[in-house]
Structure 1
Amino acid sequence: MLMTGSPAPDMVLEDTDGQAFRLSDHQGKNAVLIYFMRSTSCPVCNRHVQDLARSRDEFVAGHVRVFVAVPEDRQEAAAWKARRQIPFPVLTGRRGTPHEMVGLSRRLFGSMQQSGDLLVDIRNVIRHVHGATLPTSAYDRKGIIAAVQGLRAHP
């Protein structure tokens, strides 16, 4: 798992349109928050994405771009995004899952995908990272909001 205060890895993912997403492309431009869903079929994770959408103005004010990473393939992710009207870009892995790139593995006998969140500032430094096996504790709203407010206090 990644550590707060350390440099972020240069992740290369793919959005639902097939365009490459590189974390390093955002360096010097805006902070990036990635929410890693356990699965697009996870009702708890879907509620977390809805909460992110409701908090969109706060992220915009903090110059934070929000992305949602899913373990499914691009086609399935695109269908989920359209069906749920997700207002954020949805990312998938090019090889493996986005989760593996940040240390969110499968736990409990390899059957449950971990989920969590990652906030990287414009200098490519991790300002918040959180992960959990149970989806109910994988979204750290208070930690995310505190980290975003910290970005505004120390740009």
Structure 2
Amino acid sequence: MLTPGSSAPAIELEDTAGQAWRLSDHLRPRSALVYFMRSTSCPICNRHVRDLVARRDEFAADNVGVYIAVPEDRDRALAWKTKHGIPFPVLVGSDRTPHESIGLTRTVFGSMQQSGSILVDPDGIIRHVHGATLPTSSYDKKGILAAIDSMRSGTRS
């Protein structure tokens, strides 16, 4: 797993239109928050995404782009995005799951996909990272908001 204060990895994914998506292309002048869902069928993860959507104006005001990464293929991701009216880019892996790119692996005998988030500032420095096996604890809203607040005030969390 990644650590706050370190440089962000070279994350390369695809959006639901099949276009290449690189984390480094979505920084400067913005920060990037990527939420890694356990699956699009996870009701708890969907609740977390609804909270991200409800806070989209706050994120925009703080110059934070929000991206949702899912382990499913592009067609299933697009269907989910469309059905739920997700306003953020939804990302999938091109050769492996997006989760593997930051160390969110499958646990409990390979049956439980970990979920979590990463917040990267415009300079490519990880400001917050969180992962969990159980989806109930995968969305660290307080930690994300505290990291955004520290970026706003110019301090490192």
Structure 1-normalised TM-score?
0.98
Aligned partner of 1:99 in structure 2 is 99
Offset of residue 29 of structure 1: 2.1
Offset of residue 26 of structure 1: 2.4
1:26 aligns with 2:26: yes
Aligned partner of 2:17 in structure 1 is 17
Moved over 3 A (4+): none
Q: Note the aligned Cα RMSD (angstroms).
A: 0.9
Amino acid at match of 1:15: D
Question: Which blocks of at least 5 consecutive residues in structure 2 are unaligned?
Answer: none
Aligned partner of 1:143 in structure 2 is 143
Amino acid at match of 1:110: G
Percentage of matched positions with identical amino acids? 63
User: Per-residue displacement from partner, 1:9-29 (whole Å, max 9, x unpaired)?
Assistant: 011100001111101112322
Amino acid at match of 2:18: G
Amino acid at match of 1:45: C
Amino acid at match of 2:131: G
Q: Secondary structure at the match of 2:2?
A: coil
User: Per-residue displacement from partner, 1:49-102 (whole Å, max 9, x unpaired)?
Assistant: 000001111101110000000000001000000001111100000111000000
What is the rounded CA distance, in whole Å, between the counterparts of 1:28 and 1:65 in structure 2? 11
Aligned length: 155
Structure 2-normalised TM-score?
0.97
Amino acid at match of 1:92: V
Aligned partner of 1:85 in structure 2 is 85
The residue correspondences of 1:99-138 to structure 2 (distance < 5 A) are 99-138=99-138
